[in-house]
Amino acid sequence: MTLSTLITGAVQLPPETRRLRQEVRDFLDAERAAGTILGRPDSWLTGWDPAFTRRLAERGWVGMALPRTYGGGGRGNLERYVVIEELLAAGAPVSAHWVADRQAGPSILRHGTEEQRRRFLPRIAAGECFFSIGMSEQNSGSDLASVQTRAERTDGGWRLTGTKMWTGGAHINDYAIVLARTEEAEDRHAGLSQFIVDLRDPHVRVEPIRLLSGEHTFNYFHLEGVELAADALLGRPGDGWQQVTGELALERSGPERFLSTLPLLIALVRQLQRTGCSPDQHARVGRLTARLSSIRQLSLGVAAALEAGRPADVQAALVKDLGTRFEGELVNEVREILPVAARFDATRGSFPELLAAAILHSPGYTLRGGTNEILRGIITRGLELSS
């Protein structure tokens, strides 16, 4: 891969997405009027609202790229892109189904048995079945192949022991897809497997990790000898590394990697419309918007490549590096453009409160889903392979 192939030309969305976008906007306007959307940053991580998820699902906007045979919408990835970018821009509460829609569903479709597809996919598409990501551990984040969670074979299936960390939503979701070592192997990427674990199993113990804001999103998630039936295994034993890498590509490639703080920019613009805007403020908002627009174009290039079945891991890593840095820099810029005191105890949805939420979430932007140093390694290796 060379630099010129890494950066694709402008992507035109298919014309039929225009109507879809308008339908989503109309739906969001109605929800806003009903007071269900506060336009918060990071709404895909902390905006937990299963009733909102079900209303989206009724319109076919959850699991929309899953096949119709399994209850999905049978729509394309670009259509899904349009829906999720509108939801993110609005700061809509979408965290309940986010992981199930983005990666658990597609992973089960790809690697699951027919029985697993029929059991999970229709419920995901109905907005009734929510998933967590069980990858990271205390000493295994970037170096995921070093996971210590073990699965031993038993007469009926597997016994799972270990502790996962930073597990978003483990206290409220239904299942987690857990990466565990099933065999010792000289090649440390071999001997790993994935399991679908019921988070309400009596041998699963969930312990909160509070965010800087005090919010409860993350958890330790202790697997204390969880007995699993044989059909809890996702894919083939030993294929966990390839499967998890495919899942990470889905996790890293979407517009949530540059739109998490867009609701703050929108709130800033509304604020400036009310108070008036100096030429300097005007120019700075313009620069932020221009950067946003270029990153979006790169991100659409990733979505178009995925839609065409072309590999896009390296482009996705590039967009995530640029996008997550932009998310954090946007927060700092907004603080300089409009020096308002950030206050987490201010009215929910007010500008000082949105600013405080975005600041307190900032440390996570460049860490979650793989740190920027790791992404740059992927980009460099992708470029080296082709030189």
Ligand X SMILES: Cc1cc2nc3c(=O)[nH]c(=O)nc-3n(C[C@H](O)[C@H](O)[C@H](O)COP(=O)(O)OP(=O)(O)OC[C@H]3O[C@@H](n4cnc5c(N)ncnc54)[C@H](O)[C@@H]3O)c2cc1C
Residues between 200 and 219 with contacts to ligand X, criterion CB under 6 A: none
Question: Is there a contact between 105 and 97 (Cβ–Cβ < 8 Å)?
Answer: no
Least gap, CB of 297 to ligand X (angstroms): 26
Q: What is the CA radius of gyration of the chain?
A: 21
Q: Does 374 bind ligand X (CB under 6 A)?
A: yes
Q: Among residues 46, 53, 167, 182, which is the contact residue for ligand X, using CB under 6 A?
A: 167
Taking CB under 6 A as the rule, does residue 166 contact ligand X? yes
Q: Are 180 and 193 in contact (CB under 8 A)?
A: yes
With contact defined as beta carbons under 8 Å apart, do 161 and 130 qualify? no
- Partnered with residue 137 across adjacent β-strands are 140
- Contacts of residue 362, Cβ cutoff 8 Å, sequence gap at least 6: 327, 328, 331
By the rule CB under 6 A, 131 interacts with ligand X: no
The reply on whether position 168 binds ligand X by CB under 6 A is yes
Select 72 or 168, whichever has its Cβ closest to ligand X.
Answer: 168
- Among all residues, whose Cβ is closest to ligand X? 141
Nearer to ligand X by Cβ, of 78 and 360: the residue is 360
- Shortest distance (Å) from residue 365 CB to ligand X: 8
**Number of residues binding to ligand X, judged by CB under 6 A:** 19
Which residue shows structure tokens 């790791």?
Answer: 374
- Classify residue 173 by burial, with Cβ atoms within 10 Å: 0-12, 13-18, 19+: buried
Q: Among positive and negative, which fits the CA dihedral 262, 264, 265, 270? A: positive
CB-nearer residue toward ligand X: 248 or 262:
248
Taking 3-state DSSP, the helix, strand and coil percentages for the chain, each rounded to the nearest 5, stand at 50, 15, 35
Does residue 324 interact with ligand X by CB under 6 A?
no
What secondary structure, in 3-state letters, does 71-140 show?
CCCCCCHHHHHHHHHHHHHHCCCCHHHHHHHHHHHHHHHHHCCHHHHHHHHHHHHCCCCCEEEECCECCE
Choice between 28 and 322, CB closer to ligand X: 322
Closest CA to 369 of 197, 209, 254: 254
Nearer to ligand X, 77 or 167 (CB): 167
Q: Does 242 bind ligand X (CB under 6 A)?
A: no
Least Å distance, CB 200 to ligand X, is 18
CA 134/CA 33 separation, integer angstroms:
37
- Whichever of 158 and 166 has its CB closer to ligand X, that residue is 166
Does residue 325 interact with ligand X by CB under 6 A? no
As measured in angstroms, the least distance from the Cβ of 317 to ligand X is 13
Q: Which of the ranges 30-38, 101-109, 121-129, 368-376 carries the binding residues for ligand X, by CB under 6 A?
A: 368-376
Burial 257-290 (b: 16+ CB within 10 A, else e): bbbbbbbbbebbeeebeeeebeeebeebbeebee
Q: Is 43 in the site for ligand X (CB under 6 A)?
A: no
With binding defined as CB under 6 A, does residue 29 bind ligand X?
no
Between 139 and 158, how does the x/- string for binding to ligand X read (CB under 6 A)?
--xx----------------
Closer CB to ligand X, 102 or 111, in the complex: 102
Of 299 and 362, nearer to ligand X (C-beta) is: 362
The answer to the question of residue 296 lying near ligand X (CB under 6 A) is no
Among 126, 266, 340, 367, binds ligand X (CB under 6 A): 367
What residue ranges bind ligand X (CB under 6 A)? 132-136, 141-142, 166-168, 364, 367-371, 373-374, 377
